[in-house]
Amino acid sequence: MKLVFDEIGSENEQTILFLHAGGISGWMWDEQVKYFKDYHCIIPDLLEHGRNADVKPFTILRAAELVREIIGDCGKERVNLVGIGLGGQIVIKTMSKYPELVHHAMVSGTLVRSPRYKSLIKRLNQLLMVYAPVKNNDFYIKAYMRTYNMPRAYFNMFKQSTSQIETSSIERFLKENHSFKLPKLPATCESKLLVMAGEKDYSIIKHSTKEIMDNFQAKGAIALGGGHLWNMESPHNFNKVLDAWLQGEELPKTMISTL
C-alpha cells in the first residue's frame, strides 16, 4: 500500500520531502510550504498517522521504503529530505538505504537509542496505560500543545490527528523511536546532512544530536530559543536555516549556535 501525500509546486525543479514528527501529521509543515513556494514540496502523513492511519504496521525501515516509492512516483531522481523527531530517523534511514536519492538533508530532534533502552521501554508501557484514556481529551491536547509552543490555530488539526491514531499504533512507533540505532552512511552522504536540536529540546535529544555528529561527518547546530517543534514555534528561523543549508550558504549566526 502506498502513502497518501500532498504535492505542491510540481512544476518546480528542486524538491523538498518533509517528514513530520510522531503523533502529528503533515500539516505541521504548513509554514514551510508557504515559504518554499519555489520548490516542489511533498508532504506525506507517516504510516499509522493521519490519512495513512490504516497503513500498518509502522516501522522506520518500511517508512524509508515508502519514501523511496513516493520519490519514484513523483518522477524525481534526487530530493532534499527534511524531518523532525520520528521523521528525522526516517530521513537518516532513507539516506543509508538509498543514498543516490538524496541531494541534501536536515534533521532535528532526532533520538538515538541509549543504553537505558530497556528501562525507557518499560516506562513507556506504563505511560501508555495512563495516556490511552485521555488522549482525545481537549484539556490534555491543549496542555500538550502548550508544552511544545504549538500555535493555538492548530488545535482542531492536532485533535483530529490524535483521534486518528490508535493506542496500539502509538506503542509501535514509540518503540521504533526509542530503539533507533544509527545505520551506516556512505561517506558521500555524510556531508549532505545537517543535524539540529532546539535549544530548549530534551537533554537526551541534544546528546543524540552530538552522537550523530560523532558518527557522521555531518554539520551540527543548535536552534537558539527553539524547542522540539521549532519549525512551528519559530518558523521564520527554521525556514531561514533550512534555506541557507539547501542553498549551500553559511547558516545564519543569529539563529544558531554550533555544537
Q: How far is CA 89 from CA 82, 142, 153, 169, 198, in A?
A: 10, 27, 27, 17, 16
What is the 8-class DSSP label of residue 116?
A: T
* pLDDT tens, position by position, 25-42: 999 999 999 999 999 999
**What global pTM score does this model have?**
0.95
Q: For position 118, what pLDDT does the model report?
A: 66
pLDDT band at 43 (very low <50, low <70, confident <90, very high): very high
What pLDDT score does 117 carry?
62
User: What separation in angstroms does the CA of 65 have from each of 5, 101, 207, 215?
Assistant: 15, 12, 28, 23
Judged against a pLDDT cut of 80, whether residue 122 lies above it is answered with no
Distance, in Å, from the CA atom of 123 to the CA atom of 118, rounded to the nearest integer, reads 9
**The total number of residues written for the chain in this structure:** 259
Q: Where are the domains of the chain?
A: 5-258
Q: Does 129 or 80 have the greater pLDDT score? A: 80
The confidence score (pLDDT) of residue 195 equals 97
The residue among 116 and 90 whose pLDDT is bigger is 90
Q: What is the CATH number assigned to the segment(s) 5-258?
A: 3.40.50.1820
